Amino acid sequence: YEQCREFLIHVQTLAKERGEKCPTKVTNQVFRYAKKAGAS
């Protein structure tokens, strides 16, 4: 759980750095990636 939280924070920081105006889109990609990482 701790790892997941840190990962989300890291992703949010990256999104801010890139100036993403559509965070939901990024979040969906993150969830997809997390599912792949968790499945492997």
Residue with tokens 């990024």: 26
Averaged pLDDT score across all residues of the chain: 70
Q: For residue 12, what pLDDT band results from cuts at 50, 70 and 90?
A: confident
> Residue 22 sits in which domain range?
2-39
Q: Which amino acid is at 2?
A: E
Question: pLDDT for 21-39, tens place per residue?
Answer: 556 676 777 777 777 766 5
Segment 3-22 mean pLDDT = 71
Q: Does pLDDT of 17 surpass 50?
A: yes
* Per-residue H/E/C for the chain: CHHHHHHHHHHHHHHHHHCCCCHHHHHHHHHHHHHHHHHC
Q: For residue 9, what pLDDT band results from cuts at 50, 70 and 90?
A: confident
Tell me how many domains the chain contains: 1
Q: Does pLDDT of 40 surpass 50?
A: no
